[in-house]
Structure 1
Amino acid sequence: MSEPTNQENNIIESVEKIFDNRRIYNIPEYQRGYKWNEEDVEALLNDIDKFEGGENKFYCLQNITIKKQQDNIYEVIDGQQRLTTLSILLSYLGETDLLNKIQYSIRKESGEFLYTLLKEKEIDYLDNNLRYNDDFYNAVKELKQENKDYDSQDVFHFCLAKHTIKIFFDKFGNDKKESFTTKLLNNVKLIVNDVSSGNDVKGETIFKNLNSNKVALEYYDLIRAIFITRVKKEYKESDIDLAEKRIKIGIDIDNMNIWWSDKNVKEYFKMFSGENNISMLYDLYWKCRNNSKSESNNNKEKSNNEALFKYLDGNTENTVFKEVVRFHNTMADWYEDKEIYHLLGFIGKHIKKIEIKKEEEKNKIEDLENIIYIWKKWEETNTTRESFKKELKKIIEDDLIKNIENENYLGAIEDPNKNWYYQENNTIKLLVLLDIIKILNNKNINHKLPANYFSVNGEDIEHIFSKTPNKQTTIKDAIENIDLIVNLVNDDKYKGELCDFVKDLEEEKKLKNEMTTLHSIGKLEKYREVIREVPCVHSIGNLVLLDSNTNRSYGNDSYIDKRRIIIELYEIGDKYIRNHTSSIFSKNVNEWTIGNIKNTAEDIRKEIEKFFGNIE
């Protein structure tokens, strides 16, 4: 009875299983010779040695690709180097019952010598200078004397591998050999990619395809291998149907990877995942499927990709790929839906954990990672698209209530004397939310807020009316500024203080000149104190987000000059101007007054109130 192929079994096999079966691994003539050097063998030994084995943990030594030739003989399309090295290592460790599994189609003397090498497990055929010693020549004599090809690359590298293994274990006692052997047999595994069924392509062709761009396998590669290989036959056990289904799965995975590799998609979803490309999909799927109870949360050294791979390796269910595809389609749906895109993006950037009250445990609050909580809401049986959007809005409003003046956050927005400038996080949230509201209110344009603008992106919180004192502020600047401020305020007492300070400056101007700096005459700090009390300056109605370089290029210019500079800079097209900022500097006024500030703050309150007004 021949060994069954691996297409309906787990494709991950331990070293013990690889060698403890009826398979004979044939190295075909198109394969290169055995070439692992000292560094390759040492790297393998060190990796296995450092790996902390244990139940349900294993070290994956990439993959081998095999194709049945006849009965229990399998052509090794890819993996000759790993299989040969493992054979030599098993021999040295005394696991001789697992050997004699490799044969060579053309370099028969290589196979014969390898058999001799494996049989004499204690013998080292190289000296410390890596030259053949007497034991090597004695071994050669016992073989066919007429064959003079024993100094071929195969044979030397066989000997070099065994020499490297011996040197490695000479540093340790027998206990090391025993523990290492247990770990090697049980915790070191390979992916067995059996391409026998439904594939009449020659092994040499497959070999060329596999090796044309060989790279180390990542967990997303391993997951892909499981999805493609673990496919049950359908339609009367037809090999053609099986092959077609595998091809379709491969195409589906490639298409998903193309979507997740888009730079805009990656920038957006990195708010929810630290992975990249299709690894983002697997990471988010595993998080949401396990409701924050994934392996990565319980065991910090594991990623969700690794946890998903190990789950797939240990379970035979075939539903996961369909679940992943459905999850991908949902993420793509959210991304394409203009409203969900913006609400979810805001939450992803500004609300990392969502507090939920556990109904079964009174007064107990649990934090859930935002994407997990949101997925649970989407999956609830009574969820419609509109109710889902309302739920996203509620998450945002609850966060505003919690962080801004509690229940009276709308009053805080409208209050002209509320100091928003020094509440940087809350101010950024509110200004970004205003961008989103303006985009969503414009139903005729499919414009989206760029993903990297859900928070500041090289921008400052800028005062629309701003006369910030600095060491370059002159007497002339200060007098002109105070004259403007006097026209803004209604407080007679405060106006009197301003006028008194102007009189002092007029006297200084007579002694010096109007271009003398306040810093040089010791008046800068007093000036700062005087204008710090100007009402409405730090109101949300007087603040916008502007590119830092743009902001600093016009300093304390008037509103009309700022508007001109901003329009000129952004018309060039290499800077993004935010929707709320654009709406502010589109106002047809020559000067920004206290009335404009108050009206803008009131308009903002109305916009926010209307936006959340339909949440029940």
Structure 2
Amino acid sequence: MTNVLEPRSIGELTLTSKNYRFFIPSYQRGYRWGKDEVSALLNDLLEFLIFSENKKEKYCLQPIVVKELPDGRYEVLDGQQRLTTLYILLSYLRQSDDEVNLFSLQYETRTNSEAFLQNLTTEINSDNPDYFYISQAYGIISNWFTDNGTRIPRLKRKITDIVLEQVDIIWYEIKEESNPIDVFTRINIGKIPLTNSELVKAIFLSKNNLQLGLDEDDQKIAETILNNKQSVIALEWDAMQKQLQDDKFWAFIYNKKENNYQTRIDYILDLVTESPINKKDSLESFNTYYDKIKEVRSNPETVKELEISNTSFIEKEWSELKAYFDILLEWYNNKWYNHIIGFLISRNENVIELLKKYKDLNRDGFKSSLLNKIKDRFLAKKLSALSYESNDKKTIESILLLYNVVSSLLQPDTSIQFPFDQIRTNKWSLEHIYAQNSEDLKEKDIPLWIHEHLQYFQRNLKENDTELVAIIESLKVLSQFDISNGFSEEYKELFTTIFSDIDRYNSKKDEQDMKAEALIEEADGYQWITDDQSIANLTLLDVGSNSYLSNSIFGVKREKIKELDKIMAFIPNETRKVFFKYYSDTVWHDAYWTLDDRKAYVKDIESKVYNLNNLLEN
């Protein structure tokens, strides 16, 4: 016989006409829910009460697995903690409303458990561990209503209505001829589907569902043909799951660092059913598919239409799901889509809306819509109007990421994919290319800063450079201070002086640099790049690397970037180019981020990021 998998309302379980009687066998662990678990259930119900828009909405609890006994009772194979807590809650609500009925619940290990459960009070019963935890849960429920009832009028009445009318539990009834203990063991090693995705999979693989919509002759089709239909869906399901285990693909379609999904395919199911994304412990997609099938079965006209076209309803639903997945896979494997859509998803763009647009528009229209979305969201301001010290940090970060994405897209290699897995797993920040001031350097980092800069200047000392010799000597003096008891005022003052001397030394302008500044001072619209808080002095780095570079001078930062490169640390390409002076036609001051460097850098950003329509030709 076919196992039963369906939502059942708590209200149905309490109907006296149905006479639901549950039996908890001795091989089950006793009731052990404490304050955290009981309160979590109550808080979830309260949240649903507050945010549900109408009485048609359902709150779905995790499954219970049962098997009917010869005497009509249901042996509970899994989910008894939830079921018992629901019983305790209903028992508490019954105190204020005698119309609330209870189903029957009995523990094999406690001969008087049924009578005990029918007479619960807030008094703790310590006769045995089960009674202790059950009576404790009753007290927790009572206290919860006392605490929350003062701020929410008629809370008991409202929760009663929610529980009886809008709360469903996934009912998984084992019909097969098998030993209940064997079934219990299979559940606990994960062989019976209890997660949202496995419940949905069970819907797709159900022979009853596969037959829905086929004409009478085809419903009598050989068992082997139905098995083949099951096998095709099962193989395609497994292929989807395997693809989703590719972290690069996963990071492309899903940008959240925290993942509340039990399985990655749950995310795909939420996209297709347009369910709330990343909702913890959600059975939304299962409910959607179940309701669809239920609606079709109850509508003879719809069934007739399917039979006329000889179309299996569930195969039609599966084809739609697979089509959505294939679109995501196409985007991932297509260089243009990989870069542009990947960027938008990394910036929290609604993937469901992107999928809809892809289906509604032709290829050129879809591409144009993506570029227009980028322009509207991130490029409304000119680069000159953006500042690190304003509310523009997130915009600057997005523009610099887009700069890296577009630069990668413009590479001739058609197989290039952007590393969105690195973008997803790392925390990103803006790095000042030219160090700002000594005050931004943490005291604990100063000794290392002195050591690194002393070594750098000693390596790069040229003959007759008396100014640099003086700086080196000052750094040596500073490095010999005893700082075991903290920094003295003399130490702090000397460090501030040395930092200023180094800044002045590095910013000396030779003839070429003076020419560059003169060009900028002309009315060419680039005067703003002298501002150290502008994008001309900012690049993208992960937080760890940013901290490692600290307030080092440009030359030391470049050496550190090389060290990070050697150990294969991920550094965005355009950040690497900044410190290797990639943008400047002529490099005459390799230890300083010159005005000429800034202008070349900004012009490259402008040419790539603010001319997105050129990408339509790719």
- TM-score, reference length from structure 2: 0.59
Report if aligned partners of 1:11, 1:230 keep a CA contact under 8 Å in 2: no
Structure-to-structure mapping, 1:211-290, within 5 angstroms = 211-212=188-189, 232-234=209-211, 235-236=219-220, 256=240, 259-260=243-244, 263-265=247-249, 267-271=251-255, 275-277=259-261, 282=266, 286=270
- Who is 1:613 aligned against? 614
- Who is 1:344 aligned against? 341
- Who is 2:171 aligned against? 192
- Who is 2:403 aligned against? 434
Q: How many residues align?
A: 499
Report if aligned partners of 2:256, 2:424 keep a CA contact under 8 Å in 1: no
Amino acid corresponding to residue 181 of structure 2 in structure 1 = E
Q: CA deviation at 1:607?
A: 3.9
Report if aligned partners of 2:67, 2:75 keep a CA contact under 8 Å in 1: yes
Q: Against the structure 1 CA distance between its residues 427 and 236, is the aligned structure 2 distance closer, same or farther, given a 3 Å change threshold?
A: same
- 2:418 aligned counterpart, secondary structure: coil
Q: 1:330 aligns with which of 327, 332, 335?
A: 327
Rg larger in structure = 1
Percent identical pairs in the alignment equals 20
Q: 1:583 aligns with which of 577, 580, 600?
A: 577
**Separation in structure 2 between the aligned mates of residue 467 and residue 101 of structure 1, nearest angstrom:** 70
- 1:484 aligned counterpart, secondary structure: coil
**Separation in structure 2 between the aligned mates of residue 489 and residue 554 of structure 1, nearest angstrom:** 24
Q: Give a deviation string over 1:325-361, Cα, whole Å, max 9, x none.
A: 43333333323333322212322344x5xxxxxxxxx
- Who is 1:32 aligned against? 27
- Who is 1:500 aligned against? none
Q: Against the structure 1 CA distance between its residues 493 and 542, is the aligned structure 2 distance closer, same or farther, given a 3 Å change threshold?
A: closer
Q: CA deviation at 1:193?
A: 1.0
Amino acid corresponding to residue 402 of structure 1 in structure 2 = A
Q: Against the structure 1 CA distance between its residues 102 and 15, is the aligned structure 2 distance closer, same or farther, given a 3 Å change threshold?
A: farther
Report if aligned partners of 1:421, 1:538 keep a CA contact under 8 Å in 2: yes
Report if aligned partners of 2:244, 2:250 keep a CA contact under 8 Å in 1: yes
- 1:489 aligned counterpart, secondary structure: helix
**Separation in structure 1 between the aligned mates of residue 504 and residue 80 of structure 2, nearest angstrom:** 85
1:404 corresponds to 2:370: no
Report if aligned partners of 1:13, 1:190 keep a CA contact under 8 Å in 2: yes
Report if aligned partners of 2:368, 2:616 keep a CA contact under 8 Å in 1: yes
Q: Against the structure 1 CA distance between its residues 453 and 551, is the aligned structure 2 distance closer, same or farther, given a 3 Å change threshold?
A: same
Q: CA deviation at 1:573?
A: 1.9
Q: CA deviation at 1:379?
A: 1.3
Q: Give a deviation string over 1:473-513, Cα, whole Å, max 9, x none.
A: 47864664464256422499999xxxxxxxxxxxxxxxxxx
Amino acid corresponding to residue 563 of structure 2 in structure 1 = L
**Separation in structure 1 between the aligned mates of residue 262 and residue 84 of structure 2, nearest angstrom:** 33
Report if aligned partners of 1:64, 1:76 keep a CA contact under 8 Å in 2: yes
Q: Give a deviation string over 1:78-113, Cα, whole Å, max 9, x none.
A: 356666787798799578997679897xx8x94xx6
- 1:403 aligned counterpart, secondary structure: coil
Report if aligned partners of 1:285, 1:327 keep a CA contact under 8 Å in 2: no
Amino acid corresponding to residue 255 of structure 2 in structure 1 = M
Amino acid corresponding to residue 435 of structure 1 in structure 2 = N
Structure-to-structure mapping, 1:299-310, within 5 angstroms = 305=282, 307-310=284-287
Report if aligned partners of 2:64, 2:172 keep a CA contact under 8 Å in 1: yes
- Who is 1:509 aligned against? none
Report if aligned partners of 2:332, 2:338 keep a CA contact under 8 Å in 1: yes
**Separation in structure 1 between the aligned mates of residue 140 and residue 570 of structure 2, nearest angstrom:** 63
Q: Against the structure 1 CA distance between its residues 103 and 277, is the aligned structure 2 distance closer, same or farther, given a 3 Å change threshold?
A: closer
- 1:548 aligned counterpart, secondary structure: helix
Structure-to-structure mapping, 1:95-106, within 5 angstroms = none
Report if aligned partners of 1:36, 1:161 keep a CA contact under 8 Å in 2: yes
Report if aligned partners of 1:377, 1:383 keep a CA contact under 8 Å in 2: no
Q: CA deviation at 1:378?
A: 0.6
- Who is 2:489 aligned against? none
Structure-to-structure mapping, 1:55-66, within 5 angstroms = 55-57=55-57, 60-66=60-66
Q: CA deviation at 1:609?
A: 6.3
- 1:402 aligned counterpart, secondary structure: coil
Q: 1:489 aligns with which of 504, 507, 514?
A: 514
Structure-to-structure mapping, 1:303-318, within 5 angstroms = 305=282, 307-312=284-289, 314-315=291-292, 316=294, 318=314
Amino acid corresponding to residue 489 of structure 1 in structure 2 = M
Amino acid corresponding to residue 569 of structure 2 in structure 1 = K
**Separation in structure 2 between the aligned mates of residue 255 and residue 180 of structure 1, nearest angstrom:** 43
Q: CA deviation at 1:210?
A: 0.9
1:209 corresponds to 2:178: no
Report if aligned partners of 1:6, 1:193 keep a CA contact under 8 Å in 2: yes
Report if aligned partners of 1:62, 1:216 keep a CA contact under 8 Å in 2: no
Amino acid corresponding to residue 208 of structure 1 in structure 2 = T
**Separation in structure 1 between the aligned mates of residue 499 and residue 36 of structure 2, nearest angstrom:** 74
Q: Against the structure 1 CA distance between its residues 79 and 48, is the aligned structure 2 distance closer, same or farther, given a 3 Å change threshold?
A: same
**Separation in structure 1 between the aligned mates of residue 169 and residue 540 of structure 2, nearest angstrom:** 54
Report if aligned partners of 2:105, 2:114 keep a CA contact under 8 Å in 1: no
- Who is 1:11 aligned against? 7
Structure-to-structure mapping, 1:336-375, within 5 angstroms = 336-350=333-347, 370-375=350-355
Q: Against the structure 1 CA distance between its residues 393 and 18, is the aligned structure 2 distance closer, same or farther, given a 3 Å change threshold?
A: same
Q: 1:472 aligns with which of 476, 497, 500?
A: 497
Q: CA deviation at 1:544?
A: 3.9
**Separation in structure 2 between the aligned mates of residue 162 and residue 77 of structure 1, nearest angstrom:** 23
- Who is 1:377 aligned against? 357
Report if aligned partners of 2:193, 2:202 keep a CA contact under 8 Å in 1: no
Report if aligned partners of 2:67, 2:76 keep a CA contact under 8 Å in 1: yes
Report if aligned partners of 2:3, 2:173 keep a CA contact under 8 Å in 1: yes
Report if aligned partners of 1:485, 1:534 keep a CA contact under 8 Å in 2: no
- 2:168 aligned counterpart, secondary structure: strand
- 2:569 aligned counterpart, secondary structure: coil
- 2:351 aligned counterpart, secondary structure: helix
Q: CA deviation at 1:549?
A: 3.8
Q: Against the structure 1 CA distance between its residues 204 and 390, is the aligned structure 2 distance closer, same or farther, given a 3 Å change threshold?
A: same
Q: CA deviation at 1:441?
A: 2.5
Q: Give a deviation string over 1:160-209, Cα, whole Å, max 9, x none.
A: 9589869978999xx9998877665444432111332xx55544322101
**Separation in structure 2 between the aligned mates of residue 247 and residue 215 of structure 1, nearest angstrom:** 18
- Output the aligned Cα RMSD: 5.8
Q: 2:42 aligns with which of 47, 56, 60?
A: 47
- TM-score, reference length from structure 1: 0.59
Q: CA deviation at 1:576?
A: 2.1
**Separation in structure 1 between the aligned mates of residue 11 and residue 546 of structure 2, nearest angstrom:** 59
Q: Against the structure 1 CA distance between its residues 340 and 278, is the aligned structure 2 distance closer, same or farther, given a 3 Å change threshold?
A: farther
- 2:514 aligned counterpart, secondary structure: coil
Amino acid corresponding to residue 448 of structure 1 in structure 2 = F
Amino acid corresponding to residue 330 of structure 1 in structure 2 = I
Q: Against the structure 1 CA distance between its residues 186 and 461, is the aligned structure 2 distance closer, same or farther, given a 3 Å change threshold?
A: closer
Q: CA deviation at 1:252?
A: 5.7
Report if aligned partners of 1:347, 1:396 keep a CA contact under 8 Å in 2: yes
Report if aligned partners of 2:21, 2:73 keep a CA contact under 8 Å in 1: yes
Amino acid corresponding to residue 342 of structure 1 in structure 2 = H
**Separation in structure 2 between the aligned mates of residue 276 and residue 83 of structure 1, nearest angstrom:** 24
Amino acid corresponding to residue 36 of structure 1 in structure 2 = Y
- Who is 1:518 aligned against? none
Q: Give a deviation string over 1:289-309, Cα, whole Å, max 9, x none.
A: 65xxx678xxxx977945545
Q: CA deviation at 1:402?
A: 1.7
**Separation in structure 2 between the aligned mates of residue 430 and residue 601 of structure 1, nearest angstrom:** 12
Q: Against the structure 1 CA distance between its residues 451 and 167, is the aligned structure 2 distance closer, same or farther, given a 3 Å change threshold?
A: closer
- Which structure 1 residue ranges, 5 or more long, are not aligned? 133-152, 353-368, 406-411, 413-417, 496-531
1:448 corresponds to 2:418: yes
- Who is 2:553 aligned against? 555
Q: Against the structure 1 CA distance between its residues 327 and 278, is the aligned structure 2 distance closer, same or farther, given a 3 Å change threshold?
A: farther
- Which structure 2 residue ranges, 5 or more long, are not aligned? 147-153, 212-218, 297-313, 440-495, 521-526
1:569 corresponds to 2:558: no
